[in-house]
Amino acid sequence: MRKLFIGIFFLGATFGFKAQYGTLNGILTRLEERKGINQNLEFVNIDNKKFVLIKDLADHTERNFIVIKGQQATYVEIFDDKATGESTSNVFSGDIIRSRKNIISLRADLLEGKKVPIPVTKTLLLTRQDGILYLIDVNNKDRWIDEESFSNPKIKAKK
């Protein structure tokens, strides 16, 4: 009789741990998605994608765009001065290299068609969170969001 109770208790504890393991696994998966790690986005097509980053600072607003077309990329910086209302922009063009581990390297060495001595380089991590594609700058943690995600009503409905 004692062995039967110990056996039933052992089986019940095993199922209880299994349920807790499933919950913990789900929590860890969501945390990994937030960090952008352990995602297999190797087959996600980023051709003809536009990623946007907007920074609202005290004296000016920065709007940055990365437009990817094949192996070519265009990096646009737009600065809006809050005091004067003037906007200035820089349009860089160059190329990208995409590795298998969701890393994208941008090297823009042309400023409005003229070669610059020091190219603009960015190392970005491609990640997906809640069905939205992001590029996270590895150096400063800026998050570039896919423009389609906030301009497409179907994606908004998923949230």
CA-to-CA dists, residue 99 to 4, 13, 55, angstroms: 56, 44, 28
Cα atoms in the 13 Å half-sphere on the side-chain side of 68: 22
Cβ-based neighbour number of residue 148 at 10 Å? 15
Q: Tell me: the pLDDT tens digits for 12-42? A: 666 655 556 667 677 777 776 666 566 667 7
State the distance between the two ends of the chain, measured CA to CA, in whole angstroms.
54
pTM of the model: 0.70
The first and second tokens of residue 38, run together, are 């352990």
Cβ-based neighbour number of residue 146 at 10 Å? 20
Q: Tell me: the pLDDT tens digits for 116-132? A: 899 889 888 888 877 78
The first and second tokens of residue 89, run together, are 């922009």
Task: Output the CA torsion 47→48→49→50 (10° steps).
Answer: 140
Q: What share of the chain is helix, strand, coil (3-state, %, to 5)?
A: 30, 45, 25
pLDDT-derived band at 92 (thresholds 50, 70, 90) equals very high
The first and second tokens of residue 159, run together, are 């949230």
